[in-house]
Structure 1
C-alpha cells in the first residue's frame, strides 16, 4: 500500500464504531498486512503477545486494547513486556477506544491523542508499512491527507463526468482542481478574510445530493474574476453569498467557469478536503504529490511523488546556495556588504527545464528568502518587502497540470515566506490580486530554445502565454531587469534508458544531440538535458547547471560517450555526488540509484566530489566521478596485467536439445551409453542459485560412438533440424555437426573459474565459483580455464566489484560483467610469488567457508543481512591482503579505491589510455 491508501484506511477506521476485539486486526490491515497473516494471528498461531487483550506482529507492532482510562498503564506494560523485546517490534500501541497512545521504540517518540484524531498522526506510523518517511510528513501529514482527499474527489468527478476524462477536456478538469487547491489554501490563511469561507459557502448553498454544487462553484469562481467596482453592473448579477469572495486575478479564475457536475459523494469529498488545515501545506511536497492525481499512469503510485528537501539541497547547495551563505557569513554586520548581497540575490535566476510541480524552484525560493530575511534582520529592515521576484524562478514542464501546480506552489511559498518573515498583516495586504505574469512554460524542454525561456540578461521571454494559468504559448513579455544576474539551471529530468524510449522520445533525443548524433541512439533520456545545457552555455557562458541522473551515465559505455563530448564542448564537472538512492514514499523506500552532476564552463575553481557525507576537493572530476582523473576505459582484447584470460562460456544454439534438466541429466548418468558424454552445465543462474543442469558434450572424433545411443541419436537429430531452420547462416552451417556446441570458447583439463554475467547489486561481492573439469561453462557466464586460483581472489574482492560497477555499467540496477571492459582492463599491481600464494590462500578460505554451509547457495550465503560470519571474515581477509598489495593498508572508501585504480590504469596503459579531450585553446596552452 502507498501512503495515501494508508491514510485513507486509517481515516475510515477512526470513523467506524470502536470494536475492541476487531481493532488490532483492522489496524494491521490498514497498513497492508495480508489477510492470511491476520488469519493466523486471530487463530493465535503467530500471536506471541503476553499482555491481556494483546496482539503482536513480529518485527512490526505490539497492540493492546484496554479498559477506559487505563491507556497509559497498558502502554507501560507493553514497553516492559518480554514479548515486545523478543518480537523485535518497532511500535507499541494502547487504546481504550476513546484515547490512543503509540510509542516508537527506536526513538522513544510518543503520540497521545483522542482516538478520532488518529488520522492526523498516520505519518508517524508509516514505517509499519515499510515506508521510510521524512520529518515534514511524520510531524505534519497534511500533504498526504490533502492528496488523498483530492484524489477521491478527482476519481468521483471523472466517473460522473466521463466527457471531462477525455483528452480534449482533461486540461479543464486539471484547471478546476488547481482552482480548488487555491481556494482551500486561501480560506485557511485568511486570504479570503473569513474563516472557512469557501467550504462553508459550498456546504450552505449546495444541495446535499450535490445536484447544484457545480452552479455554486461556478458563481464563486466568476466572482473571483471580477473587480469589486465591476460587480454591481455585471449581468447576470452575482448572488450575495458569492460577492463575499475577493478579486483574485492572475488568470486563475479567468475564462470559463464551467464546473463538473457533483454527486452526493463528490460533494462529501470536497467538504472533507476543505475541512483539513491547508495553512500548513508544504508546497514543495504537496505539489509533487498532487501532480499524480491527474495522471492515470502515476495514480497507482499516489503519495510517493515527492523529492525530499535534503535530496534537493544536494543539488542546490553546491550549485549556489552554499556560496550565498558563505557570503552572508563573510558580510557579518557590514551594511554595505549585506546590501550588495541582497541585490545579488534579487538578480539570481533559477531555471528548471524539467520542473514538474516545481519542487526544486520552491525549495530554491524558500532558501533564498531565508538568506534575504537574515540580511534584512542584520540591516534592521525586517519588514521590508522581498526583492526576490517569482519571475526569476523559471521552469519548463511537458504536462499542463504540473505546470499549473508549479506556479501555484510558488505563489503559496511566497505567501508563506511573507507571513514568516514579515508578518500576517503585511503578507495579506500584498497578496491579492495575483500577478498575471507567466514564468512556468508548458512545452517540450528538448525541443524548446532554453534561451527563449530564460534569456541571459535584459528583458523579455519569447515563449509566451495568455495568463498565469493558461496554456503558455502567447503571453505578453515579462518586463524585468536582470543585467549582471546569475543563472543556475537545475532539475531532475526523466531517466528512461535508450531501449525503453518511445518514438517521440527518440526523436527528442535526436533534436537535443544535434551536434553529437551518435549519442541520441545510445544514451539515457536524461542526457538530452545535458545536451541542451551545453547548447545553452554556448550562448550564456556564465550559467552553471546541476542535474539528477541515473548513475548509468557515469558508468560503462555511456560514460565513454557522454562526458568526452561534454568536455570537448569546453565544459567540466564542477561538482558531483556519487551514487545514492533517490528515495520516495514507496513501500520499503524503493528508489532509483542516481548521481548528481554539476556542470559549467571549464574553470580554475576547485572541484567538489561528495560521497555520502564526505567532501573531497580536487582539480578535476572524470567521467566515472573519480577525482583528479579524466581517463576513461576502453575495451581490451587481453588483460593489461598478468591475470589469466577470461573467455565467454560455450554457446550451443541447439534448440535446447543438447541441454538436459536436472531430472533427465541425473537419470541419463545411469545409462552407460550416455554417461561418458554428460557434463554439468553452469551459467549465471546455476552458479548463483545452485540449480542443476547438464549437457551432452561430445568431442571431435567421439560422435560415432555417441550415436550408438538411441537417446543421443534422437537428440542430435533434433539439433540438426533446429539449426537447419535457423535464420543465421553461421548456425545453419553447424547443422551437419549437431554433436557439438556452435561456439566453444574453452573448457578445462583441471578446473574452471566461473563468473556470473549479470548479478544483483545488493550483494557485497560478485558471484564467482570454482568448477571441476567435468563441468562446462555456458554462454550465460564467463570462464577462466585452468587459471591459477589467485585469480578467483581478485574477482571475489571489493575493489574488483567497485571497478566492474564503474566501468561496465549495469543492466537495470544489476551488475553487468564484461570480460573485455571489466576484467581485461582491471589494473593489478605487479604480484610477487608471495603475493600470489597469499591470494591463493584467501581464495581457498572463501571456498572452504562456503563449503561449511553446504548446500546453501551463493544467493543464500551472500544475502546482505545474513552473510555467515566465517564467510564474511574470509572475504574481509581477502580484501585486506589485496588492498595492502595496492597501497599498504585498507582503503578508506570506494572513492579512494577508484582513485588508485584509475591512477594505476593510466600508468599501465600509458600511450593507450584515453583522456577526455580538451578544447583546442587548452591544448595549445
Structure 2
C-alpha cells in the first residue's frame, strides 16, 4: 500500500464504531498487513503480547485497548512490558475509543489526541507499512489526506462526466481542480471574507440531490472573475457577490463546471472541511499533480521529494553563498541593502519543474534570508522585493504547470503572513496578477534563453490566460539587469533502451552533431547539455538531480567532452545516494547531484555519501566526471590492456537457435557413450549459470571429428537444424559463412588448460566480483568474459575490491547491477609494473580464494558471496588479497573506496598520457 491508500483505510477505520476486540487487527490491516498475517496474530501463533487483549507484532508495534479513561496508564504498561523489551517493536499504542496515545520507542516521539483525530497523525505510523519517511512527511499528513480526498472527487466526477476525461476536455478538468484547490485554501486563510465561506455557500445553495451544484460553483467562479467595478453589470446572485475578485487568469477561460453526483457533492464538502491552513506547498504540489495523471494515480503518494534532498541541489548552487554573505554583512546596513538588491535580481529556473517543488523551496529559502535582512535593517514590515516572476519553469504537461504556479502563489502568501503579518499579506494578495512564468512545453525543444532571458526584458511573451500556457505565453517585464541565473531541478531519467522515437530525436537535436554516440545517452543528459549551452551564452550555474549513469560507464566519454567544450566544469557534486519516495514498494532510484558552471578559482566541493549514512565534504581544485576529487580524466574504451595483463574476450555466441545447447535431460536422451560425450560435449556457462550453479551442455565438434559426429542420428539432426536456421537468417554472414559449419557455435573459444571467468552482469550487493576458474572441458557463452589460459594472478586482480570499485565506476551499471566490460573495464584497468614476487604473491592469494570456496562445496557463488552470510575464511582470503594488492599500489591498505578511485585515476592518467594529443585536447584542462 502507498501512503494515500493507507490514509484512506485509516480514515475509514476512525469513522466506524469503535470495536475494542477488533481495533488492533483493523489498525494493522489499515497499514497493509495481509489477511494471513492478521490470522496468525489472532490465533496467537505470532502474537508476542503479554498484556490482556494486547497484540504485539515483533519489530513493529505493540497495541493494547485500554479501559475507559486509562489510556495513559496502559501506554506506560506497554512501555515497561517484558514482551515489549524482548520483541523490540518500533511503536507502542493504547486507546479506549475516546483517547489515543502512541510512542515511537527509539526516538521517544509521541502522539496524543482524540481517537477521532488519529487519522490526522497517520504519517507518524508510516514505517509500519515499510515506508521510509522523513520528519517533514510525518508532519504533513494533511497533504496526503487532501490528495486522497481530491483523488476520490476527481474519479467520481469523471464517472459522471466521461467527456471531461477525453484529451480535449482534460485541460478543463485539471483547470477546474486547480480552481477548487485555491478556493479551499482561500476560505481557510481569510483570503475570502469568512472561514469556510466557499464550502458553506455550496452546502447551503446547492440542492441535496446535487442537481444544481455545478451551477452554484459556476456562479462563484464567475464572481471571482468579475472586477468589483463590473459587479452591477454582471448581475451576480447576492450569495456570490460577497466573494472577492481573484482572477489574474485563474478564473478566466472556460466557465464550465462538471456536473456533480450526490456522492461527488459529499466528497467536495468533506474536502472543504479539512483545515487547509496546513497546506505545505513543498509537498502538496507534487502530490496533487498525481490526481490528474492516469498513469500516476495508481501510485498516489509516490511523489514526495524531501526538502533535504532538494536542498542538496539548491544550497551549494547559490543559497549557501547568500547565507554566507548575510553572515558576513552582520548588521552593516549598506552590505545588507546590497545583498537584498542582489537577491531581487536572482532568477531560479527549473526546466523540468513538474509541480514546482524546487522553485517553491528556493523561493521560501530566499524569503527567509530577505526577512532576516529586513529585520536587521529595522524594516520588518517591508514588502518583499523578490518577484515570483523570477522563479521560472518549463513543464511538459499542463496540469503540473498550473499547479506549480499555484504552489508559488500559496508560498508567497504564506511567506507574507509569516514575515509581515496577516493584515498586510491580505491587503496585497488580491487580485492575483496576470503574469505567468511557467511554460508548458518540451524543455529539450524550447529556447531556454527566451523562457529565462539573461538580462532585463530582452524577450517577452504574452497570453490572455494565466494558467493555460501555450508556447507564445507571457511576456513579463522585470528589471534584472546584471542578475544571476541558477538552473536547477530533477529532470526525467530514461536510459537509451527505454526512450521513445521522439525522445531519441530530442537528444539528437540537443547534441546537434557534437557526438555520433548520442543514442547511448540517458534522457537526463539533454538537460545538462542545454544548461551548458545556456551558461555559455548567458552565464550562471546549473545543478540537477540525475541518474548516476551520467557519471559512469560509456556515458562519460560521450557527455562530458560536450559539457567541457561549452566552457562548463563541475563546481560541486553529491555522490550516489538513494532518491526515495513515499511508496513502500519503491526503494528509490540511485542518483547523484551535479552542479556545473564556468570554472572558478574557488575550491570545488564534493559531498560523499558514505556507507554508514554520513555525508563527508571534501574539497579540491577539480572534480572528475566520475565524482572524485582530481583533475579531469575520461576513461575511454581500449582494444588492448594498457597494463601487462591477459587478453579478456567474450565467450562463445551460439547463434544456433538452441540446437547446439542441451539440458542434462536432453543430453541423457541423446544416448552417447562416455567416449562420445568426452569428444562431442562440453559444459557451458553463462553469467547466471556460473553464479547460481546452473549446468548446461553444448555440442562441441571439432572439424576433425565431424564425420564421426554425423553418424550419430541425434547429433546429425541437430546439426541440420542449425544449418536450416542459419540459411534462413537475414544476416549475410550467417547464410554464407556460419551455415557452412552448422556443427559449431559461432565462436569456438576454450582454454587449453583453464579459463578465468568474469560474468558480464552481476549483483551490486556482493562485496567482490564473482569471478572464478573453469577447466579445459568447459566453455562459456557470450554472456560472460574469459581470460583463456591466463596466469592465475589475473584472477587476484579481478577478485579485488580495487577492481570492483573501478568497474562500478567506469563501466556503469545495468539498472543497479554491475555491468562488466572488457574494453572499458579490464583493458583500462591501471596496474603498476609487477615483479615476479608480486605475481607469485597474487597467485597465492588467488589460490587461497579458490581453496576457501572449495571448502564450502557445493555452495554456489551466489551462496558464498551473499553479503549477509559470506563465510569468514573466504572473507579473510579476499582481505589478504586486497592487502597484498594495495601494498603494491601505495605501500599500505587504502582507507576507503574514494582513495582507491583517486589513485586509479591518477595512475590511469599517467599510463595514457602518451596516447595522443587529440584525446587530451578533447578532454581539456581543468
TM > 0.5: yes
Q: Does residue 1:89 correspond to 2:57, yes or no?
A: no
Q: Separation in 2 of the partners of 1:161 and 1:783? A: 63
Q: Are 1:6 and 2:6 counterparts?
A: yes
| Paired residues of 1:790 and 1:840 also in contact (CA < 8 A) | yes
SS at the partner of 2:684? Answer: strand
For residue 486 of structure 1, what is the aligned residue in structure 2?
484
Provide closer, same or farther for how the CA distance between residues 562 and 296 of structure 1 changes in structure 2, counting only shifts above 3 A.
same
Measure the CA separation in 2 of the matches of 1:913 and 1:56: 69
Matches within 5 A, 1:87-126: 87-126=87-126
> Is the contact made by 1:630 and 1:915 (CA closer than 8 Å) also made in structure 2?
no
Is contact 2:557–2:635 with CA below 8 Å preserved after alignment?
yes
Going from structure 1 to structure 2, the CA distance change for 1:642 and 1:539 (only over 3 Å counts) comes to closer
Contact (CA 8 Å) 2:460, 2:477: kept in 1 or not? Answer: no
Match of 1:549 in 2: 546
Task: Verify the 8 A CA contact 1:569 1:919 in the aligned structure 2.
Answer: no
Counterpart for residue 162 of structure 1: 162
Q: Distance in 2 between matches of 1:525 and 1:553?
A: 10
SS at structure 2 position matched to 1:793: helix
Q: Is 1:392 the counterpart of 2:381 in the alignment?
A: no
- Paired residues of 2:394 and 2:439 also in contact (CA < 8 A): yes
Give 1:367 shift: 0.7
In 2, the alpha carbon distance for the partners of 1:829 and 1:435 equals 67
Alignment of 1:732-751 (within 5 A): 732=735, 733-744=737-748, 746-751=749-754
Change in Cα spacing, 1:719 to 1:84, as seen in structure 2 (3 Å) is farther
Q: Which moved more, 1:108-117 or 1:679-688?
A: 108-117
Hey, what's the Cα distance between the residues in 2 that align with 1:458 and 1:587? Answer: 47
User: 1:601 maps to what in 2?
Assistant: 598
Distance 1:91 1:916, change over 3 A: farther
Quote the residue 1:656 is aligned against. Answer: 658
Checking the alignment, whether the CA contact within 8 Å between 1:464 and 1:472 is kept in structure 2 is no
Q: Deviations over 1:297-337 (max 9, x none)?
A: 11122111122111111111111111111111111111111
Matches of 1:426 and 1:141 in 2, distance apart? Answer: 29
The question of 1:878 aligning with 2:876 is answered no
| Distance change (3 Å), C-alpha of 1:602 and 1:206 | same
Q: In structure 2, what is the equivalent of residue 675 of structure 1?
A: 677
| Alignment partner, residue 130 of structure 1 | 130
Match of 1:764 in 2: 767
Structure 1 stretch displaced more, 654-663 or 696-705: 696-705
1:765-795 Cα shifts (integer Å, max 9, x gaps) = 2221222333222211011223233222221
Aligned to 2:695: 692
Q: Give 1:905's aligned residue.
A: 908
Shift of 1:80: 4.1
Compared with structure 1, are the counterparts of its residues 72 and 772 closer, same or farther at alpha carbon in structure 2 (3 Å cutoff)? farther
1:573 match: 570
1:52 CA drift (Å): 2.8
CA distance in 2, matches of 1:633, 1:822: 9
Following the alignment from structure 1 to structure 2, what is the Cα–Cα distance between the partners of residues 88 and 775?
51
Residues 482 and 917 of structure 1: is their aligned pair in 2 closer, same or farther, counting only changes over 3 Å?
A: farther
Offset at residue 714 of structure 1 (A): 3.2
Among candidates 433, 436, 442, match of residue 434 of structure 2: 436
1:746-895 correspondence to structure 2 within 5 Å: 746-895=749-898
The structure-2 alpha-carbon separation of the partners of 1:99 and 1:184, relative to structure 1 and needing over 3 Å to count, comes to same
- Is the 1:567–1:916 Cα contact (8 Å) retained in structure 2? no
Q: 1:713 is matched with which residue?
A: 716
Identify the match of residue 704 of structure 1 among 702, 707, 711: 707
Higher mean C-alpha displacement, 480-489 vs 670-679:
670-679
SS at match of 1:394: strand
Pick from 546, 552, 560: which aligns with 2:557?
560
1:502 to partner: Cα distance: 1.7
The structure-2 alpha-carbon separation of the partners of 1:860 and 1:825, relative to structure 1 and needing over 3 Å to count, comes to same
SS of residue paired to 1:679: strand
Instruction: Please give the alpha-carbon distance, in whole angstroms, between the structure 1 residues aligned to 2:519 and 2:45.
Output: 57
Structure 2 distance, partners of 1:456, 1:826, is 44
- The 1:857–1:333 alpha-carbon spacing in structure 2 relative to 1, beyond 3 Å, is same
Aligned partner of 2:467 among 469, 475, 489: 469
The structure 1 residue matched to 2:637, chosen from 635, 638, 646, is: 635
Q: 1:404 aligns with which of 393, 402, 405?
A: 402
Residues 919, 562 of structure 1: CA spacing in aligned structure 2 closer, same or farther, 3 A cutoff? closer
Q: Distance in 1 between matches of 2:667 and 2:312?
A: 55
Instruction: Please report how far the alpha carbon of residue 496 of structure 1 lies from its aligned counterpart in structure 2 after TM superposition.
Output: 1.5
| Match of residue 723 from structure 1 | 726
Q: Distance in 1 between matches of 2:887 and 2:85?
A: 42
Q: Distance in 1 between matches of 2:670 and 2:64?
A: 60
> Displacement, 1:853?
4.1
1:617 matches 2:619: yes
Instruction: Give 5+ residue unaligned stretches, structure 1.
Output: none
| Displacement after TM superposition at 1:868 (Å) | 4.1
CA distance in structure 2 between the aligned counterparts of 1:373 and 1:29, rounded to whole angstroms: 47
**354, 372, 391: which is aligned to 2:352?**
354
* Residues 773/99 of structure 1: CA separation in 2 closer, same or farther (3 Å cut): farther
Measured against aligned partners, the alpha-carbon deviations of 1:892-912 in whole angstroms (never above 9, x if no partner) come to: 333322211111011122211
For structure 2, the residue ranges without an aligned partner over 5 or more in a row are 610-614
Cα distance in 2 for partners of 1:517, 1:119 equals 55
Q: 1:678 to 1:178 in 2, by over 3 A?
A: same
Which residue number in structure 2 is paired with residue 283 of structure 1?
281
Map 1:243-258 onto structure 2 (within 5 A). 243-258=241-256
Q: Does 1:64 align with 2:77?
A: no
2:371 maps to which residue?
373
* Other-structure match for 1:39: 39
Deviation, 1:14, is 1.1
Which piece of structure 1 moves more, 602-611 or 390-399?
602-611
CA distance in 2, matches of 1:703, 1:807: 44
Question: Offset of 1:719 from its aligned partner?
Answer: 2.8
- How far residue 665 of structure 1 moved from its aligned partner, in angstroms, is 4.1
| Cα pair distance change 1:776/1:73, threshold 3 Å | farther
Q: Which stretch shows the higher mean deviation, 149-158 or 275-284?
A: 275-284
In structure 2, distance between residues paired with 1:433 and 1:751: 81
Distance 1:517 1:824, change over 3 A: closer
Change (3 A) 1:919 1:900: closer
Change (3 A) 1:721 1:368: same
CA distance in 1, matches of 2:291, 2:919: 44
CA distance in 1, matches of 2:668, 2:375: 82
Name 2:145's counterpart in structure 1.
145
Cα distance between partner residues in 2 of 1:45 and 1:674:
58
- TM score, norm. by length of structure 2: 0.95
1:290 CA drift (Å): 0.8
CA-to-aligned-CA distance 1:259-306 (integer Å, 9 cap, x gap): 111111111211221111111211021101111111111112211112
1:331-363 deviation per Cα after TM superposition (whole angstroms, max 9, x unaligned): 111111111111111111111111111111111
Q: Which residue of 1 aligns with 2:612?
A: none
Query: Any conservation in 1 of the 2:533–2:566 contact (CA below 8 Å)?
Result: no
Quote the offset at 1:400 in angstroms: 1.1
Partner Cα separation in structure 2 for residue 465 and residue 511 of structure 1 = 28
CA distance in 1, matches of 2:867, 2:432: 54
What is the alpha-carbon distance in structure 2 between the residues aligned to residue 345 and residue 832 of structure 1?
61
CA gap 1:462/1:228 in 2 versus in 1, 3 angstroms: closer
Distance 1:269 1:849 in 2: 66
The answer to which of 88-97 and 421-430 deviates more is 88-97
Q: 1:58 to 1:754 in 2, by over 3 A?
A: farther
Q: How far off its partner does 1:615 sit?
A: 2.1
Q: Report the Cα distance in structure 2 between the residues aligned to 1:21 and 1:749, rounded to whole angstroms.
A: 73
Separation of aligned partners in 2, 1:38 and 1:668: 53
- Structure 2: how far apart are the matches of 1:230 and 1:832? 93
CA distance in 2, matches of 1:850, 1:275: 65
**Among residues 305, 329, 332, which one is paired with 1:331 in the alignment?**
329
Q: For residues 75 and 693 of structure 1, do their structure 2 counterparts lie closer, same or farther at Cα, with a shift above 3 Å needed?
A: farther
* Length, aligned pairs only: 919
**Could you tell me which residue of structure 1 aligns to residue 530 of structure 2?**
532
Runs in 1 of length 4+ with deviation above 6 angstroms? Answer: 666-670, 913-916
